[in-house]
Chain A
Amino acid sequence: MSPNKKDNMQYIGIDLGTSRSVVSASNGNRKWVESYVGWPKDFVAKKMLGKRVLFGSEALEHRLALNLSRPLQNGVLKEGTERDEAAVQELIGHLIELADVEPGKDICVAVGVPAEALKVNKIAIRNAISEYAKNLMVVSEPFSVAYGLGTLDNTMILDIGAGTVDFCIMHGTVPMEDDQRSILMAGDYVDEQLLKLLTEKHPEADFSLNMVRRFKEKHGFVGSSKRRVKVEAPVDGIFTEFDITEEMRRACESPMPAIVETVIDLIAGFDPEFQESVRKNIIIAGGGSQLSGLDTFLTEATKQFEPCKFTCIDDPLHAGADGALELAADMPEEFLEKL
């Protein structure tokens, strides 16, 4: 790429997630926000909040005064929901603002979105983003992770998010529909299971979904655990300690059979020679990859069928946005001009 062109271009990578959206920019800025967008419900609320639109935890905090949207709730924009489209647009605008690029420069953005949304809402998402950037690409989230890791061939990426687990096999080309699969049993599902198990076992205690999610993020594990998981929850207003080791294990393991089945099924669709190499290269990304013991557990679980090797990535929070950033920056100039 000619130096002048490059000098005047700022690259931005965005991971547009169900629960969390992350931005990573060529100026080194990396930020994230919970994927909530809220508009004040009426004039009074607007006056009170002093803002046209709120994001992330701030939006959650004032939810009663807002028209709130979590635009990619189940990994897709619901058909015809203009509010969600507008929310995606606001969210992207906000993330670009957070990237804090130098004014006056051209912006090139690559956005990774859940695989399902790319399939269903590609055009709507493109429209929402096109307002901000001169050059623009939308790709599937697991693909942007793969790109960042440089694993473009002989690999499967498994992105365990909040709304969906996305599976994607990389075989040296841009992934096609049959290379990708999504299941709805992901982080949110684990939270629901955990809440259900705990409420059944301790009906006297007041567990909430947000509370158990925090438990999971702090203590979540699969397989055997060396230490007990002890947490506090209110009983009649008094914080009381509970040992939730067993419930935690069961909840965290609840999506595992579906994950194993999907991995095996997806690989089976490939050239036998290729299957071998993919099995040895299964990479786990996404917030859910931080469950303790996950790679060992899945490697063990597949032993009885087709032995596979799973590895968790180092920085699941930023991997998607970083990969998208790299993609944007690598895009040859002759292509960029037409995007």
Chain B
Amino acid sequence: MSRHSEIKKTVLRGVYEDNAGIPRSTHGKRQSKFAADSQEPVHSSRYPGKAVLVAVLGLVALLGFNLRLVTVDVAGPAAMQVVEEQPLPSYRVQLPVPVSPVGALIPGNDQLVSPEPIQSLDDATITSGRYDTMLTRLGMPMADLFNLQVQTIVIDPGHGGIDPGATGHLGLKEKDVVLDIAKRLRDKLAVTGKYRVLLTREGDRKVFLKERVAFAKENRADLFISTHVNSLPPGAGSLNYVETYYFGPHTDQRSLELAEKENRDSDYAMGDFREVIARIGDTLKTEESKQLANSIHKHLYNNMKRRNRGLIDAGAKTGPFMVLLGVEVPSVLIEVSCISNKAEEARLSTPEYRDRIADYLKTGIVDYLEERAHRRTIEGGIIQNVAKQER
């Protein structure tokens, strides 16, 4: 393929990604309220009125749209495949189980979650009891789904203390870079006044993966963002990657090795492991994590490319990172840069560059949250319309 058509393809994909994922309002053509014969404003479904009804029904819509049943399959790389989209309302995902370091003994085909068939949008008779069950099963507070509360974002700077993470040729350490970026990111998110932002570590100290997960849980995180810096083996020369992960099977050998490296000190007990696998059945999490990863990655890569023409887009994709499996809410792990590249290491050692990276991360996160809020409103609106017709 010629370079031009290569670029064209990238650009078309970019336009697609910019435009996909925003559902449209499906109500009929709105009559303009400014026409002479309709002085009364037509109540636009974009502004949900009766919050509770909307919320309840909206949640069902979400379930209808997103719910996946989960079965746990045999462990090992062979199991790492996703059965893709089958018709709604429900479909099955072979749950990927990471091979290392603790995923050796998962009971085969153990159906951990098997919800009753979910009612589709068409039968809008939902009792509140039923809705409660769904809520519990989903494990996500309603307030979060509808953005009624301040969102809590937990930022997780990787490594720390005796674990330096990757180290560059000049001696720059991953643990220091990611801590600095995380703090900058926190400040940038905090000044918007819309989010409560917490770090899993404030200083240079060792934090176990389990503690990171527990921290997110204790603080009722709505989003979990783990920051890391890549390092490629000496043979990779001057390659420079940016990549963003959400939980799922690895898609190539490099991702697997990377995950093994980042998983090194995960010490989940077998029991914990089974429990967290059950939670991945929370399909909303996977779907939302994917959207979050896409949003962050797009901003990060496209912006960094500007100053670094050789930068390789390794994409937003799934990887078996334990820390992402443990957290119950949308979560991503970002390899923001590549410390094994000398030029990149030099850039990373400047505060300006780290600040810029924090900026791109922030934009990706905020964009995602705003788009999500919008999706919720529309889905709420659709339900409201359905409810109106029912009456």
Contacts and interface: CB of A to CB of B under 8 A. Distances in A.
Interface of A: 39-43, 45-46, 52-53, 67, 82-83, 86, 89-90, 123, 126-127, 130-131, 136-139, 147, 150, 152-153, 169, 171-174, 176-179, 269-271, 273-274, 327, 330-332, 335, 338-339
Contacts of A335: 12-13, 16, 20
Given A82-B41, A123-B374, A271-B309, 14 more contacts: A53-B32, A67-B34, A86-B34, A127-B24, A130-B24, A139-B15, A171-B305, A172-B7, A173-B305, A174-B11, A174-B14, A174-B18, A330-B8, A338-B16
Given A126-B24, A136-B19, A327-B15, A131 B306 contact: no
Nearest to B17: A174
Contacts of A174: 11, 14-15, 17-18, 302
Contacts of A169: 306
A174 B374 CA distance: 23
A339 B11 contact: no
B307 A89 contact: no
A205 B36 CA distance: 40
A45 B36 CA distance: 8
Nearest to B16: A335
B206 interface: no
A270 B302 contact: no
Contact of A270 (B15, B41, B306): B306
Contact of B36 (A43, A126, A127): A43
B149 interface: no
A206 B46 CA distance: 48
Contact of B15 (A90, A131, A137, A177): A137
Given A89-B32, A171-B305, A178-B306, A137 B19 contact: yes
Interface residues of B, number: 40
B238 to A, nearest CB: 15
Interface string B17-47: 1111010110001101111110001001010
Contacts of B306: 169, 171, 176, 178-179, 269-271, 274
Contacts of B305: 171-173
A88 to B, nearest CB: 11
A152 B35 contact: no
B363 interface: yes
26 contacts: A39-B35, A39-B36, A40-B36, A41-B36, A42-B36, A46-B36, A86-B30, A127-B24, A127-B46, A130-B25, A136-B19, A152-B7, A152-B8, A169-B306, A171-B306, A172-B7, A174-B14, A176-B299, A269-B306, A269-B307, A270-B306, A274-B309, A331-B12, A331-B16, A335-B20, A338-B20
Given A173-B302, A270-B307, A131 B29 contact: yes
Contacts of B219: none
Contacts of A150: 4
Nearest to A178: B303
Contacts of A176: 299, 302-303, 306
A240 B37 CA distance: 47
A138 B22 CA distance: 12
Max chain A Cβ within 10 angstroms of own Cβ: one of B24, B32, B301:
B32
Contacts of B17: 174
3 smallest CB-CB distances across A and B, nearest first, come from A174-B14, A130-B24, A335-B16
A171 B17 CA distance: 17
B11 A172 contact: yes
A38 to B, nearest CB: 9
A84 to B, nearest CB: 10
A173 B11 contact: yes
A52 B37 CA distance: 9
Interface in B348-391: 363, 371, 374
Nearest to B310: A271
B308 interface: yes
Contacts of A274: 306, 309
A331 B15 CA distance: 9
Contacts of A339: 16, 19-20
B11 A152 contact: yes
A263 to B, nearest CB: 16
A101 to B, nearest CB: 17
A194 B17 CA distance: 43
Contacts of B309: 171, 271, 273-274
A40 B37 CA distance: 9
Contact of A173 (B10, B19, B41): B10
Contacts of A147: 11
A330 B7 CA distance: 13
A271 B34 contact: no
Nearest to B22: A126
A173 B4 CA distance: 12
Nearest to B309: A271
Contacts of A39: 32, 34-36
Contact of A139 (B18, B22, B44, B299): B18
Given A123-B22, A269-B306, A271-B307, A332 B36 contact: no
Contacts of A43: 36-37
B356 to A, nearest CB: 9
A142 B19 CA distance: 17
Nearest to A336: B16
A90 B32 contact: yes
Contacts of A83: 34
Nearest to A176: B302
Contacts of B14: 173-174
A116 B90 CA distance: 40
A89 B25 CA distance: 13
Contacts of B8: 152, 330
A130 to B, nearest CB: 4
Contacts of B33: 82, 86
Contacts of B299: 176
Contact of A153 (B7, B34, B301, B302): B7
B140 to A, nearest CB: 23
B85 to A, nearest CB: 11
Contacts of B44: 82
B2 to A, nearest CB: 12
B25 to A, nearest CB: 6
A85 to B, nearest CB: 9
